[in-house]
């Protein structure tokens, strides 16, 4: 399928050949990350951020400028009409009339999928809640591919707050496109990867184990992917305190990893990677962040070049569906958004459950 006019909402929406095509385009873009071309001259990207960001927003902005396009937007919702109570739907409908693509970051899960349903222009998901972060995952997969020449066959250890880190669940969805992946999911018992993600890994034949002790897995890992404790996503910040410092990748622990292993992190890192690890030849997190520019250039180019507006999508409210998502942080539970609940029945560990088509979470039947 063509990438022209495509949204970047989730890794679940892509096929492996499409990912490979983005990576090949990024290889070509790699040579022009320090100069400005004209490939997207006359195109405008709007960046609307309802949560803090350094890398995602700035690397997308850089990517757009390097392709000769321009950027409008806000990085702080208090300066937009959202502070006056404007809905996300109205904000999207306005902003898309000013720009050729909209990059959105929001704490509400499923917000990017919803925006993509109502927008005429491509929606780029800069992270929604603890769910998806597709441009980070493209960056991560591209970094692994550059390092090892391929992604198939890779052994990865993901450690930390796997329940709330969107880069981690998004990476799991991305890895499910590849063959012979070995995945160790290391986290405190209460911060394990959510079941809709592990069910997806199972359905796609990804071998994974879950555990609490990183020393059981580090000897075999080619990629050690460290995550930040996502304090802001806990219902109560005191709960997060209990996990503070629970997963730290020390220099001593890293010494046990295979010689060719690399350390990755979506950044910002707080205390989970001590500064002394920066000097290890295994550290790749800054290189990983730098790879975010060619990969975002590649996606912007692939989606926007030759793109003509797509027809408006009309949401058909289905008043018969009264089943509600149990996730209060889901876009389908925002009373003023013109949205209909979209719950589908599925199986999780042999049990029938409802899955929300916006946030992906399960609700008991
Ligand atoms: C992260 C995010 O916002 O998801 N940063 C990023 O985009 N690289 C991760 C984080 O905040 O921990």
**For 319-352, what is each residue's pLDDT tens digit?**
556 788 999 999 999 988 887 778 999 999 999 9
- Answer yes or no: is the C-beta of 127 below 6 A from any ligand 1 atom: yes
Instruction: Give a yes or no: residue 318 inside a domain.
Output: no
Residue 79 is predicted with a pLDDT of: 73
The rounded Cα 235 to chain-centroid distance in angstroms is 21
- Answer yes or no: is the C-beta of 265 below 6 A from any ligand 1 atom: no
- If asked whether residues 196 and 142 sit together in one domain, one would say yes
Query: What is the rounded average pLDDT for all residues in the chain?
Result: 93
Domain termination residue (choose one: 288, 323, 355):
288
User: How far apart are alpha carbons 11 and 14 in whole angstroms?
Assistant: 6
- If asked whether residues 156 and 22 sit together in one domain, one would say no
Q: Given a cut of 90, is residue 34 above it in pLDDT?
A: no
Instruction: Give a yes or no: residue 271 inside a domain.
Output: yes
- CATH number for position 244: 3.40.50.1370
- Answer yes or no: is the C-beta of 56 below 6 A from any ligand 1 atom: yes
User: How far apart are alpha carbons 252 and 13 in whole angstroms?
Assistant: 40
- Kindly tell me the burial class for residue 93, based on how many C-beta atoms sit within 10 Å of its own C-beta (0-12, 13-18, 19 or more): middle
Instruction: Give a yes or no: residue 192 inside a domain.
Output: yes
Q: Ligand 1 centre from 321 Cα, in Å? A: 34
- If asked whether residues 115 and 54 sit together in one domain, one would say yes
- Answer yes or no: is the C-beta of 166 below 6 A from any ligand 1 atom: yes
Domain termination residue (choose one: 262, 288, 314):
288
- Answer yes or no: is the C-beta of 228 below 6 A from any ligand 1 atom: yes
Instruction: Give a yes or no: residue 310 inside a domain.
Output: no
- If asked whether residues 100 and 220 sit together in one domain, one would say no
- Answer yes or no: is the C-beta of 55 below 6 A from any ligand 1 atom: yes
- If asked whether residues 129 and 186 sit together in one domain, one would say no
Domain termination residue (choose one: 288, 320, 343):
288
Q: Tokens 């793109």 appear where?
A: 307
- If asked whether residues 254 and 341 sit together in one domain, one would say no
- If asked whether residues 121 and 175 sit together in one domain, one would say no
Q: Hey, is 96 helix, strand or coil?
A: coil
Whether 15 contacts 290, CB under 8 Å: no
313: confidence class by pLDDT, cuts 50, 70, 90: low
133: confidence class by pLDDT, cuts 50, 70, 90: very high
- If asked whether residues 179 and 271 sit together in one domain, one would say yes
Q: Given a cut of 70, is residue 179 above it in pLDDT?
A: yes
Section 228-255 average pLDDT:
91
Q: Ligand 1 centre from 165 Cα, in Å? A: 8
- If asked whether residues 141 and 115 sit together in one domain, one would say no
Whether 77 contacts 83, CB under 8 Å: yes
- Answer yes or no: is the C-beta of 136 below 6 A from any ligand 1 atom: yes
Residue 319 is predicted with a pLDDT of: 53
- If asked whether residues 267 and 196 sit together in one domain, one would say yes
Task: Select from 8, 52, 106, 267 the residue to mutate for testing ligand 1; criterion: most ligand atoms less than 8 Å from CB.
Answer: 267
Q: Ligand 1 centre from 267 Cα, in Å? A: 6
Question: What is the span of the domain harbouring residue 162?
Answer: 134-288
- Tell me the whole-structure pTM to 2 decimals: 0.96
Q: Given a cut of 60, is residue 2 above it in pLDDT?
A: yes
Count of the separate structural domains present in the chain: 3
User: How far apart are alpha carbons 102 and 61 in whole angstroms?
Assistant: 12
Q: What is the dihedral of CA 167, 107, 164, 291, to 10 degrees?
A: 10
Q: Ligand 1 centre from 301 Cα, in Å? A: 23
- If asked whether residues 143 and 281 sit together in one domain, one would say yes
Q: Whose CA is nearest to atom 11 of ligand 1?
A: 268
Whether 92 contacts 102, CB under 8 Å: yes
- If asked whether residues 119 and 145 sit together in one domain, one would say no
């Amino acid at each position: 399928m063509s990438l022209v006019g495509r949204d970047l909402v989730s890794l679940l929406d892509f096929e492996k050949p499409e990912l490979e095509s983005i990576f090949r385009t990024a290889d070509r873009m790699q040579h022009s990350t320090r100069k400005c071309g004209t490939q997207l001259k006359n195109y405008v990207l709007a960046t609307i951020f309802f949560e803090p960001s350094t890398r995602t927003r700035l690397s997308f902005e850089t990517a757009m400028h390097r392709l000769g396009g321009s950027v409008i937007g806000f990085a702080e919702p208090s300066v937009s009409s959202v502070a006056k109570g404007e809905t996300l739907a109205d904000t999207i409908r306005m902003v898309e009339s000013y720009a050729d693509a909209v990059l959105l970051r929001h704490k509400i899960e499923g917000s990017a999928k919803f925006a993509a349903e109502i927008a005429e222009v491509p929606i780029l998901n800069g992270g929604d809640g603890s769910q998806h972060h597709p441009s980070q995952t493209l960056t991560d997969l591209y970094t692994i591919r550059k390092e090892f020449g391929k992604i198939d066959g890779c052994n990865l250890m993901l450690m930390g707050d796997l329940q709330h880190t969107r880069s981690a669940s998004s990476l799991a969805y991305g890895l499910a496109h590849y063959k012979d992946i070995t995945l160790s999911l290391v986290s405190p018992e209460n911060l394990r990867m959510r079941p809709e993600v592990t069910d997806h890994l199972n359905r796609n034949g990804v071998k994974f184990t879950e555990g609490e002790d990183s020393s059981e897995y580090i000897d075999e890992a080619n990629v050690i992917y460290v995550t930040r404790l996502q304090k802001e996503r806990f219902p109560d910040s005191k709960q997060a305190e209990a996990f503070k410092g629970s997963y730290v990748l020390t220099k001593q622990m890293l010494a046990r990893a295979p010689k060719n292993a690399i350390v990755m992190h979506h950044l910002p890192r707080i205390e989970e990677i001590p500064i002394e690890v920066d000097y290890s030849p295994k550290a790749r997190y800054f290189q990983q962040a730098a790879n975010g520019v060619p990969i975002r250039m590649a996606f912007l180019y692939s989606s926007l070049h030759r793109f003509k507006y797509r027809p408006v999508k009309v949401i058909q409210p289905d008043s018969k569906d009264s089943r509600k998502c149990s996730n209060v942080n889901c876009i389908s539970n925002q009373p003023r958004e013109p949205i209909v609940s979209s719950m589908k029945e599925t199986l999780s560990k042999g049990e029938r459950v409802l899955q929300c088509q916006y946030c992906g979470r399960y609700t008991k039947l």
